[in-house]
């Protein structure tokens, strides 16, 4: 009888330890999860830039007028950049579309609601939306027909290099107050060293 009580006591002690460990693990997991400023769940959906943005595509590249449209799933993205000849975005030139998977990385504590991210390009397309836009693309434009989508994944086009030279971008993402902000473009986001140090000031609103 005494041995049975000792066994039961030890069993209860083991059960108590297991319960405490599981509770601590869940608490730590919850703390980690809630400490993230956002997750893929917050990104899922369509986002569209507000108004007409005036954006530099990087050092040595032109400042352009464009609208941005993003579609995010838990694992993949589709982004469309529509370029315009005027600051009001009334004269369409051409659009760039890319697709592929993406990953969210570590939190950047020095930046508000910001995480590192990496997007991996699987395909790229250009579409000339006017004759003016086709001519503005130079040699690449000679391969385009106005209004028709052209796969440029392996060749690149204008200031977008072929996939063989750039498999994707090392990014910064910020999600805040219903807006998505990508990183400010740097000269070489194809490499980790080219990851932006801040996000853009003009965001895209969730539709």
Of 12-16, 145-149, 198-202, minimum mean pLDDT range: 12-16
In the chain, domain spans: 1-35, 40-206
Report residue 150's pLDDT band, with 50, 70 and 90 as the boundaries.
Answer: very high
Residue 157 DSSP code: B
Per-residue pLDDT, 137:
94
Neighbour-count burial for 88-110, b at 16+ CB within 10 Å, e otherwise: ebeebbbbbbbbbebebeeebee
**Higher pLDDT among residues 22 and 97, named by residue:** 97
Quick check: helix, strand or coil at residue 112?
A: coil
Asked if the model's pLDDT at residue 57 lies above 80, the reply is no
Q: Which residue has the tokens 């590249």?
A: 61
The answer, as to whether pTM is greater than 0.95, is no
pLDDT band at residue 202 under the 50/70/90 scheme: confident
Q: What pLDDT, on the 0 to 100 scale, is given for residue 32?
A: 44
**Stretch 140-166: mean pLDDT, rounded?**
95
The percentage of the chain sitting over the pLDDT mark of 90, rounded to a whole number, equals 71
What is the percentage of the chain residues whose pLDDT exceeds 70? 80
**If you average pLDDT over residues 32-55, what whole number do you get?**
86
Token look-up 């130079």 returns 138
* Residue 53 pLDDT: 80
Per-residue pLDDT at 29 exceeds 50: no
* Whether the predicted pLDDT of 62 surpasses 80: no
Please state, in angstroms and rounded to a whole number, the distance separating the CA atoms of residues 116 and 13: 44
pLDDT(175) > 80: yes
83, 66 contact by CB (below 8 A): yes
Q: How high is the pLDDT of residue 14? A: 42
How far is it, in rounded angstroms, from Cα 91 to Cα 97? 19
What pLDDT, on the 0 to 100 scale, is given for residue 20? 35
194: left (phi over 0), alpha (psi -120 to 50) or beta: alpha
Residue 61 clears pLDDT 70, i.e. is over it: no
> 187: closest CA among 43, 57, 55?
57
pLDDT of 17 > 70? The answer is: no
């Amino acid at each position: 009888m005494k041995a049975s009580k000792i066994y039961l006591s030890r069993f209860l002690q083991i059960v108590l330890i297991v319960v405490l460990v599981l509770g601590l693990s869940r608490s730590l997991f919850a703390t980690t999860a809630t400490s993230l400023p956002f997750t893929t769940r917050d990104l899922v959906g369509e986002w569209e830039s507000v108004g007409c943005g005036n954006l530099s595509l990087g050092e040595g590249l032109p400042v352009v007028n464009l609208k941005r449209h993003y579609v995010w799933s838990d694992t993949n993205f589709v982004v469309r950049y529509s370029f315009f000849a005027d600051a009001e975005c009334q004269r369409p030139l051409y659009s760039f579309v890319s697709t592929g998977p993406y990953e969210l990385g570590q939190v950047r504590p020095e930046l508000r609601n910001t995480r590192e991210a990496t997007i991996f390009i699987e395909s790229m397309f250009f579409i000339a939306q006017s004759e003016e836009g086709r001519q503005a693309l130079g040699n690449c434009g000679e391969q385009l027909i106005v209004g028709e989508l052209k796969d440029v994944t392996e060749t690149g086009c204008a200031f977008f290099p072929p996939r063989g030279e750039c498999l994707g971008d090392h990014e910064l993402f910020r999600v805040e107050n219903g807006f998505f902000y990508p990183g400010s473009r740097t000269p070489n986001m194809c490499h980790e060293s080219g990851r932006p140090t801040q996000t853009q000031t003009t965001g895209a609103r969730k539709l």
